[in-house]
């Protein structure tokens, strides 16, 4: 209840009469003269506690013995600093083995010329196949040309006709054709017969050669097909080797990551508040080793009423005070720090019918520590 203040003795008399009559005393509220209108608009959050900007229990990422801790309780660390190391011998051996296997595969792939050899053999086979096809075509044309055999047959017929005329003339008149002329005609006829037989034989040989050249051309085409298949196989082998190289590179990278994961690294800048393990202890993945909190920025969590929350929004200015300083008649400037409201919950807490709020202090003073109780005043 607001205190009543009376400015004259008349007021005291009236109060005494009402008290004697058993009537309720009036409550006369008056705002203190030193409270300004803007101060009355300030919203004071309740149940305010300081929280670190970030806090993390740094876990062990791998299984193994803890080799050494590189920080102490209270150590100030920067993001990326190594905080602890697990035994790395096994991980380093695995990395070395993976790198050696990758190097061997790279050397094998670099020295492999199977694809080049297959491509060169295919090109030569295609050239020979083209030449064989031309030779077969030429042989076919030669076999189809029977002009020499026809000419020989004509000469044979001519020689035979001349001999028959000579024989007929000698039968009519024995002296019409001399013996010498008769023998010459007989020789010409015999030579013509031989020439005809030779021409026929050559024609038959040309036909056989044409068929043989056609077979050779077919064989060259089959060789080209086989070499093309060999080239495709060689190219497939090279692609498989390249894919295997990629797998090995990935294996090496995984082995390197495992070596890196044997070190616990600070995820943010802060202060080590607790060492939960000692060197030599066996660690399982996810088991906490250190606790790290961020103090370069702090959060103030509190609650306000539903009505007050309707006047709040992120970005509004706030003030953080020590509880002791706020209770005193006057607080020193060093006990007040400016903050910024960053969160007003859209939900209402069903237990206390209040709304959670959070303010950020980007560069907190030394007296403002996580876990402390403070007053949070928000200026709508």
Q: Is 188 helix (H, G, I), strand (E, B) or coil?
A: helix
Q: Tell me, what CATH number does 81's domain have?
A: 2.40.50.100
221 exposure class (CB count in 10 Å sphere: 0-12, 13-18, 19+): middle
Task: Answer whether residue 166 is part of any domain.
Answer: yes
Q: Return the beta strands (E) in the chain as ranges.
A: 43-52, 55-59, 64-69, 76-77, 82-86, 263-265, 270-275, 282-283, 288-293, 298-305, 317-322, 336-344, 354-361, 373-378
H helices of 68-113, in order, are 89-111
CB 67 within 8 A of CB 88: yes
Same domain, 81 and 194: no
Task: Answer whether residue 130 is part of any domain.
Answer: yes
Task: Going from the first residue of the chain to its last (380 residues), give the mean pLDDT of each consecutive group of 10, the final group possibly shorter.
Answer: 38 40 42 45 92 93 93 94 93 92 86 81 89 88 86 90 87 85 89 91 88 90 90 85 91 92 93 94 94 93 95 94 62 76 94 93 90 92
CB 321 within 8 A of CB 373: no
Q: Is 41 helix (H, G, I), strand (E, B) or coil?
A: coil
Question: Please, what is the average pLDDT of the chain?
Answer: 84
Q: Tell me the pTM.
A: 0.53
Single out the residue of 38, 35, 215, 33 nearest to residue 132, CA to CA: 215
> What's the CA gap between 162 and 188, in Å, rounded?
9
Task: Answer whether residue 175 is part of any domain.
Answer: yes
pLDDT tens digits for range 205-260 = 888 988 898 999 999 899 999 988 988 888 888 888 889 899 999 999 999 999 99
Same domain, 154 and 184: yes
Task: Answer whether residue 90 is part of any domain.
Answer: no
Same domain, 136 and 250: yes
Q: Which domain holds residue 241?
A: 104-260
Q: What pLDDT is attached to residue 149?
A: 85
> What's the CA gap between 307 and 193, in Å, rounded?
134
pLDDT tens digits for range 333-380 = 568 999 999 999 999 988 888 999 999 999 899 899 999 999 999 988
Task: Answer whether residue 314 is part of any domain.
Answer: yes
Task: For residue 314, give every residue at least 6 positions away whose Cβ sits within 8 Å of its Cβ, in sequence order, or none.
Answer: 341, 342, 343, 344
Q: How many CA atoms lie within 13 A of 41 on its CB side?
A: 8
> What's the CA gap between 281 and 257, in Å, rounded?
22
* Domain stops at, among 274, 291, 308: 291
Q: How far is CA 92 from CA 67, 86, 89, 259, 332, in A?
A: 14, 12, 5, 6, 58
Q: What pLDDT is attached to residue 170?
A: 84
Same domain, 169 and 217: yes
Q: How many CA atoms lie within 13 A of 1 on its CB side?
A: 7
Same domain, 337 and 301: yes
CB 78 within 8 A of CB 269: yes
Same domain, 229 and 271: no
Edge to edge, the sheet with strand 288-293 lists 55-59, 288-293, 270-275, 76-77
Task: Answer whether residue 98 is part of any domain.
Answer: no
> What's the CA gap between 183 and 161, in Å, rounded?
14
Q: What pLDDT is attached to residue 37?
A: 43
Same domain, 269 and 347: no
Q: What pLDDT is attached to residue 308?
A: 94
Task: Answer whether residue 94 is part of any domain.
Answer: no
Q: Tell me, what CATH number does 355's domain have?
A: 2.40.30.170
> What's the CA gap between 360 and 52, in Å, rounded?
10
Task: Answer whether residue 339 is part of any domain.
Answer: yes
Same domain, 121 and 255: yes
Number of domains observed in the structure of the chain: 4
Same domain, 120 and 223: yes
H helices of 173-305, in order, are 179-260
CB 375 within 8 A of CB 323: yes
Same domain, 279 and 350: no
> What's the CA gap between 30 and 5, in Å, rounded?
8
Task: For residue 61, give every residue at least 6 positions away whose Cβ sits within 8 Å of its Cβ, in sequence order, or none.
Answer: 261, 262, 264, 285
Same domain, 7 and 73: no
Same domain, 328 and 362: yes
Task: For residue 100, give every residue at least 6 positions away whose Cβ sits within 8 Å of its Cβ, in sequence order, or none.
Answer: none
């Amino acid at each position: 209840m607001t205190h009543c203040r009376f400015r004259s003795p008349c007021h005291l008399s009236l109060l005494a009469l009402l008290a004697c009559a058993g009537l309720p005393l009036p409550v006369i509220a008056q705002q203190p003269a030193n409270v300004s209108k803007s101060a009355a608009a300030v919203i004071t959050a309740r149940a305010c506690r300081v929280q670190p900007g970030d806090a993390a229990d740094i876990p062990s990422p791998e299984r193994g013995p803890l080799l050494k801790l590189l920080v102490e309780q209270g150590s100030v660390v920067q993001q990326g600093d190594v905080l602890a190391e697990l035994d790395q011998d096994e991980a380093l051996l695995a990395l070395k083995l993976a790198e050696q296997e990758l190097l061997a595969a790279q050397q094998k792939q670099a020295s492999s010329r199977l694809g080049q050899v297959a491509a060169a053999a295919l090109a030569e086979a295609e050239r020979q196949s083209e030449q064989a096809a031309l030779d077969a075509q030429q042989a076919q044309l030669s076999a189809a040309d029977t002009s020499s055999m026809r000419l020989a047959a004509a000469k044979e017929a001519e020689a035979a006709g001349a001999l028959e005329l000579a024989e007929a003339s000698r039968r009519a008149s024995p002296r019409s054709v001399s013996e010498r002329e008769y023998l010459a005609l007989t020789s010409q006829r015999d030579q013509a017969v031989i020439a005809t037989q030779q021409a026929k034989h050559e024609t038959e040989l040309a036909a056989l050669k044409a068929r043989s050249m056609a077979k050779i051309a077919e064989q060259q085409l089959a060789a080209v097909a086989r070499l093309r298949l060999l080239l495709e196989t060689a190219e497939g082998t090279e692609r498989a080797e390249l894919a295997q190289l990629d797998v090995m590179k990935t294996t090496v990278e995984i082995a390197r990551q495992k070596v890196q994961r044997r070190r616990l690294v600070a995820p943010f800048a802060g202060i080590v508040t607790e060492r939960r393990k000692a060197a030599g202890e066996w660690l399982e993945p996810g088991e906490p080793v250190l606790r790290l909190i961020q103090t370069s920025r702090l959060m103030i969590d509190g609650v306000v009423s539903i009505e007050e929350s309707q006047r709040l929004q992120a970005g509004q200015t706030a003030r953080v005070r020590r509880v002791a300083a706020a209770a005193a008649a006057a607080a020193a400037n060093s006990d007040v720090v400016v903050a910024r409201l960053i969160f007003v919950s859209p939900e209402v807490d069903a237990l206390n019918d209040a709304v959670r709020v959070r303010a950020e202090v980007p560069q907190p003073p030394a007296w403002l520590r996580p876990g402390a109780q403070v007053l949070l005043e928000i200026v709508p």
